[in-house]
Copies of this chain bind each other. A is one copy, B any other.
C-alpha cells in the first residue's frame, strides 16, 4: 500500500495534540482527518473509511474504548487498525483496550518520533497479513471469504462478477479501460466479445442494487459509491 493512500483518523479532545499528530502524519504523506469526541469519531470513520484510527481514551461523548467496541462490531472496521492514546495513569483501561480489539496503544505524553514509528510499524504488520478486504462506505468486498456485503446484507456474486467488481473497487474513481478489464479479469489470451463485460456489469449492478459503477462511454467503467 502506498503511503499516500493511507488514511488516518485521529480522535482527541485536545486541539494541541490533534494538531501535532496531524502535522507529523501529513508530513509523512498520510491522509488525515480529525475528530474531537467519540461521536464525531464514529461518524467520520464511517464517512472517511480510514485505514488507521487513533483514539484517545479520555474523550467527551464516548471514550476511546467505547468507540473501538462500536466500530469493531461493524464489518467495515473488522480489519481497520486501531491505536489508543492513553494517559500513563490508568493501567486498567490500557488492558481493556487491547482486549477490546485495539491493535496497540501508546502512552502520553506522546513523542512524535515514537508515534510515527508505531504507526508505520502497525501498517507494516498489516501488510504481512495482506488483508485485501475492500471496504467503502457500506460496501465490503472480502476476496478471502468471497463475500460482498452492502450495509450488512450478503450479496452473492458469481466468480467473474466478483473479480470484476473487485478490480473496479480496488481503485475507486479510477476508470478502467475495457482492454484493461479483459486482461485483468479474463487474462491476456482469452478472447471474449466486448458485450461480455457489459453483461457482467449489468449483473453486478442488479445484484448490488446500488448505482456504484459508472459508465464512461467510449472508454470503460469506474467504481464510485
A interface residues (Cβ-Cβ under 8 A, vs B): 91-92, 94-95, 98-99, 103-104, 107, 111, 113-114, 117-118, 120-121, 125, 144-147, 158-159, 173-175, 216-219, 222
**What are the residues of chain B within 8 A of A146 when measuring CB–CB?**
175, 216, 219, 222
Least distance between A64 CB and chain B CB atoms (Å):
16
Q: Assuming the A-B contacts A94-B117, A159-B217, are A107 and B107 also in contact, with contact meaning beta carbons closer than 8 angstroms in the complex?
A: yes
Determine which of B98, B111, B120, B174 lies in contact with A91 in the assembled complex, contact meaning CB atoms within 8 Å.
B111
Determine which of B94, B107, B117 lies in contact with A98 in the assembled complex, contact meaning CB atoms within 8 Å.
B117
**What are the residues of chain B within 8 A of A222 when measuring CB–CB?**
145-146
Q: Can you list 22 A-B pairs with a CB-CB distance of less than 8 A? A: A91-B111, A91-B114, A92-B113, A94-B117, A95-B113, A95-B114, A98-B117, A98-B118, A98-B121, A103-B125, A145-B173, A145-B174, A145-B175, A146-B175, A146-B216, A146-B219, A146-B222, A147-B173, A158-B218, A159-B216, A159-B217, A159-B219
